[in-house]
A and B are shown apart, each in its own frame.
Chain A
Amino acid sequence: MTPLLSVKDMTHYFGGLRAVHNYNLTIEPRQIFGLIGPNGAGKTTIFNLITGVYTPTEGEIQLENKNIKGLETNEIAAMGLGRTFQNLALWRHMNVLDHIRMAHYSQLDYGLLGAFFNSRACRDQENQVIENAHRLMELFDISKFAGDLVTSLPYGAQRRVEMARAMATRPKVLFLDEPTAGMTPDELVRMIRIIRKVHEDFNVAIFLIEHRMKFVMELCEQIQTLVFGEVIAEGPPEEIQNNPRVIEAYLGKEDMT
């Protein structure tokens, strides 16, 4: 089986600073993969490198055996790489329905002229998008907010909007950057359920950055630990949990939560 996403020997420098060094990653289809590490280890940088926000200095990135290094972010996203952001990145003057609608951008082909003159193709495709958006909103339990501005939503709902939006791009692999940051324990449990559901219903692989050990250990099948831009350990949760180097570098003491 070919891996869904593979990164080989990726290194990246910000000026003189080596942010990521010889990073390797293989994600199989339908795998849930976790990336942990202390603050400033370079986790989000790795996300940004793979999703094309920055182009890595060295290395190769392939999605389903197609090179995606050097492509624009929107092209990579359209090829099947959806993501959410660490600090919510929602469009503050737009309502929830529009958020989900916008993520269908790459699936439209009626063209600008179609948009100007409201052609039949335009109307048909837009209606289909709205239908699909309503289905997604139902799934993520945000239907009741459809017409509301995102800024008026509770925090947990905003997170769900972000995930619904990412799923609307029809990703093959979903990148979640700290999906539970700032959440209450209730919302955390709910998020675990949602991620499971997304994983089952959409057949996606998930690559997530997380700080809460409980969350990572429960969800992930495979975990990498990153320290100062280098992977110091990789393996299934039990192995990582007991790895002395991980405990030393990241967890500090043994009485972790």
Chain B
Amino acid sequence: MGIVKKFQQMFSTVPMLGWFLGILTAVLIEYFWGYDYISYYLGLPKIPVLFGALIMLKEPLMIPGALAYDLIVYVIPVLAVAKLTSPFTNQGAALLEKLPLWLSAVLHLVFLYAVLHLWAGINDYRVLIVKLTLISIILTVSINVINGYQGEFSCSHPGFMALGAYVSSILTLVLFTNDKIFGTALLPPALAPYCFPIVLVIGGAAAAVGSLAVAIPSFRTRGDYLAIISLAFMFIVKSAIENLHIIGGARGMGGQPDLAPLPVIFIWTTLCIWIIHNFVTSIFGKALNTVRDDEAAAESMTIKTRKTKMTAFMFGAFWAGVAGGLFAHVLTYINPGMFSINRLAEILAMVYFGGLNSIVGSIVGAVSINVLGEALRPLELFKWIIIPLILIFVMIFRPYGLISFTEINTKKLLEAKKHKTKQGVSS
């Protein structure tokens, strides 16, 4: 406990910018020397993809090497650079504070993206993981609107995702590709990247319309019954797609153009987080909380509860649809089996692990479950014992999830950290 406190205090003066710089250094070290020198001398076959987790689990003999690699490439450079440059990065952060908050936030995001791009660019597998993780973030944050902020137990998120994925796939296949089923392209394929946002929005809108099938019953019922209705909706969507042979049925649908590179997904994810953050901190968004906590009181305080419920479902479903569209264009192949009970379990695990009623929690949940899922892949079946076990422990010790009921405070996150002399430690 004492060490952790000391550690925290030591790094409390590092602003967000400093951490970015530290990570950038680590990534640059890996980029230039990771393969040629470090992993070679440590006896590793190649650059460890996910911090060496895969190598460690496959070949236990490599554990010291992989750990040393993590230490040399990540831990030491990040901590050292973050700490040593903190006087300079604090000045930088102070300069950025003079800018409008949104501009400062955008600059930080650009920096973050650059680091992420560099890190992911070392290996194709990493790119895929990062893409799927970002999509998971959209899914988790959006289901948090329904299950966390609005307090329903909705199980239909994979259904919404499927609607978005299929509608946007059909659109891109019809418009921009020469497809066996849908014929020649109606528009020149060069236009595709520019029209893709519109396609995604249409996919999202389709999911939002579909969500009415769950939203309208929610006027009359809550809790378990709504959970069953939403589960039914998910299976209806899945079976409907399986039986529609024009869109491939159970065999699925492939050949989507690869319209979702990393920057596109990153932009959509930040857009999603920004909009949902604005929504849930506004009075219209907080109305979801009042409906969850006491509907009768909400009605008496002039809050339109039906409109609020409908908004929550349609809004959440919209983003699930967008995530589905991105997902389809990352994998360039989808089938109905992808949007079934397994996906639901994954999404629910992410949101309940991360924390209800919190965007930060959702991001943490999505990233940790995704990365954990990939890192534990060599364990095969045991992966599905370990992850649920972790989930059970989180539920026992923090029933609302790791980070619940907290909102992002952008200003505080990005501000320069003044050197505090024993502040708050005084007893």
Contacts and interface: CB of A to CB of B under 8 A. Distances in A.
Given A91-B289, A92-B293, A169 B283 contact: no
Contacts of A115: 278-279, 282-285
Summarize B's interface: helix, strand, loop or mixed. Answer: helix
A91 B293 CA distance: 5
Contacts of B283: 101-102, 104-105, 108, 115, 126, 129
B311 A112 contact: yes
Contact of A73 (B289, B293, B294, B300): B300
Contacts of A73: 296, 299-300
Given A93-B357, A101-B283, A115-B279, A51 B300 contact: yes
Given A115-B284, A116-B279, A85 B297 contact: yes
Interface string B284-321: 11110110111011111111110000010000000000
A213 interface: no
Given A89-B294, A115-B278, A94 B304 contact: no
A98 B286 contact: yes
B10 interface: no
Interface in A37-66: 51, 53
Given A77-B302, A85-B297, A93 B289 contact: yes
Given A91-B289, A94-B293, A112-B311, A126 B303 contact: no
B275 interface: yes
Contacts of B111: none
Nearest to B284: A115
B262 to A, nearest CB: 25
Contacts of A118: 278, 282
A12 interface: no
Contacts of A69: none
Task: Categorize the interface residue count of chain B.
Answer: 20 to 34
Nearest to B291: A91
Contacts of B292: 91, 93
Contacts of A91: 289-290, 292-294, 297-298
Contacts of B333: none
Interface string A87-114: 0011111100010011111101000100
Nearest to A169: B302
B235 interface: no
B297 A74 contact: no
A102 B290 contact: yes
B299 A74 contact: yes
Interface of B: 275, 278-279, 282-287, 289-290, 292-294, 296-305, 311, 357, 405
Interface of A: 51, 53, 72-74, 77-78, 82-83, 85, 89-94, 98, 101-106, 108, 112, 115-118, 122, 126, 129, 165-166, 168-169
21 contacts: A51-B300, A53-B299, A73-B299, A74-B299, A77-B300, A85-B300, A89-B297, A90-B294, A91-B290, A92-B294, A98-B286, A98-B289, A102-B287, A105-B284, A105-B301, A105-B303, A108-B284, A112-B279, A116-B275, A116-B279, A166-B301
Given A105-B283, A117-B278, A168-B301, 12 more contacts: A74-B305, A77-B301, A89-B300, A92-B293, A93-B289, A94-B290, A94-B293, A98-B286, A102-B290, A104-B283, A108-B283, A115-B283
